[in-house]
Amino acid sequence: MKTNSLYFILFSTGVFVTLMLAGLDVLPVTTEAKAQEVSKDETATKGDPEKGARVFKKCKACHTLKKDGGHTIGPNLHGFLMRPPASLEGFKYSQALKQHATDGLKWNDETLDAYLKKPYTYIKGTTMSFAGLRKNADRANVIAYLEQETGN
């Protein structure tokens, strides 16, 4: 008979042990299994471009990814990675983005992840009217998609 029980994982000398409180069933989990878990987490961090395409639908209202494509409400994002913000001609960027470019900011996985999480918090004064992507996986996936689709 299965009960709704709490599980605890203890780590001691490289071996994980799971204790089930109701009945104290003990199941050893090897460090190899933990390494596989970490490997899965790293894969999730890298992101899935296919899932990122779905997340990017939120961005399509304002951004395009086409090479030599024009700007819409937001700037064209083709080739933007490893480039400073506010660096394309023909788009009116916020003073805040221009200042961050002057200060040496460049778009990469780390800076883009922080910006997409909460744009207003990362760059105070940005005019991008997007609340952000709360889920780590959504940000990782959209970044993977952008890397694939923008010539970076």
pLDDT tens for residues 12-53?
334 333 333 344 333 343 333 333 443 344 434 689 999 999
Predicted pLDDT at 111: 96
Cβ atoms of 46 and 144 within 8 Å: the answer is yes
User: Residue 7: helix, strand or coil by DSSP?
Assistant: strand
Across 118-127, average pLDDT:
94
User: Residue 98: helix, strand or coil by DSSP?
Assistant: helix
Predicted pLDDT at 45: 65
DSSP state at residue 121: H
Please state the separation of Cα 148 from the chain's center in Å.
14
Using one digit for the tens of pLDDT, what is the confidence trace for 94-116? 999 999 999 999 999 999 999 99
Identify the H or E element spanning 40: helix 31-46
DSSP state at residue 116: H
| Residue 42 identity | E
Predicted pLDDT at 109: 94
User: Any bridge partners for residue 9, and if so which?
Assistant: 18
Cβ atoms of 145 and 62 within 8 Å: the answer is no
Using one digit for the tens of pLDDT, what is the confidence trace for 53-98? 999 999 999 999 999 888 999 999 999 999 999 999 999 999 999 9
User: Residue 62: helix, strand or coil by DSSP?
Assistant: coil
Candidates 135, 140, 151, 152; CA nearest to 50 is 140
| Residue 111 identity | T
Q: Which residue has the tokens 């952000």?
A: 132
Predicted pLDDT at 131: 94
Q: Which residue has the tokens 């819409």?
A: 72
Predicted pLDDT at 92: 95
